[in-house]
Copies of this chain bind each other. A is one copy, B any other.
Amino acid sequence: MPNHQHIDADDNIAGGGLLHRRVFLRRGVAIAAMSATGTGFAAPLEVPAWSKSPGSSMSPYGSPAPDQQNVVRTVLDLYPAGIANGAGVSFTPLEHLQGTLTPNGLFFERHHSGVPEINADEHRLVVHGQVREARSFTVDDLMRFPMTSRIAFIECAGNSLFNSFAEPQQRRAGEIHGLVSCAEWTGIRLEDLLDQTGVDSSASWIIAEGADAAKHSRSIPMEKALGGDALIALYQNGERIRPEQGYPFRLVLPGWQGSTQTKWLRRLKVVSAPVHTKDETSKYTLLQKDGQARQFHFEMGVKSVITSPSPGVSPTESGVYNITGLAWSGAGRITRVEVSADGGQSWAEAVLETPTRPKALSRFQQAWQWDGRPTMLMSRAYDDQNNVQPTREAWYEPYAANQIFHQNAIQVWSVAENGEVSNVYI
Contact = CB atoms under 8 A, between A and B. Distances in A.
A62 to B, nearest CB: 5
A2 interface: no
Interface string A49-63: 011111111111111
Contacts of A96: 239-240
A312 interface: no
Copy number of this protein in the oligomer?
A: 2
A21 interface: yes
A89 interface: yes
A192 B243 CA distance: 41
A247 B53 CA distance: 17
B145 A322 contact: yes
Nearest to A353: B149
A115 B56 contact: yes
B51 A213 contact: yes
Contact of A105 (B51, B62, B212): B62
A196 B32 contact: yes
Nearest to A60: B72
Interface stretch (A119-127, A331-339, A405-413): A119-127
B144 A34 contact: yes
Given A116-B51, A149-B99, A242 B65 contact: yes
A180 B96 CA distance: 27
A80 interface: no
A104 to B, nearest CB: 6
B111 A55 contact: yes
A123 B41 CA distance: 13
Contact of A238 (B56, B67, B101): B101
B54 A134 contact: no
A244 B58 contact: yes
Interface stretch (A23-31, A272-280, A340-348): A23-31
Interface in A193-216: 195-198, 211-213, 215
A148 interface: yes
A258 to B, nearest CB: 14
A296 to B, nearest CB: 25
B238 A58 contact: no
A103 B103 contact: yes
Interface string A333-373: 00000000000000000010101000000010101000000
A384 interface: no
Contacts of A243: 56, 62, 65
Interface in A48-101: 48, 50-65, 67-68, 71-73, 75-77, 84-90, 96-101
Contacts of A116: 50-51, 55
Given A145-B24, A215-B51, A75 B103 contact: no
B54 A114 contact: yes
A107 interface: yes
A238 B97 contact: yes
Interface in A106-156: 106-107, 109, 111, 113-120, 122-124, 126, 128, 132-138, 140-141, 144-149
A160 interface: no
A38 interface: yes
Interface of A: 21, 24-28, 31-32, 34-41, 43, 45, 48, 50-65, 67-68, 71-73, 75-77, 84-90, 96-107, 109, 111, 113-120, 122-124, 126, 128, 132-138, 140-141, 144-149, 184-186, 192, 195-198, 211-213, 215, 234-235, 237-240, 242-245, 247-248, 266-267, 321-322, 324, 351, 353, 355, 363, 365, 367
Given A58-B109, A64-B104, 6 more contacts: A24-B192, A62-B105, A65-B248, A67-B120, A99-B186, A147-B324
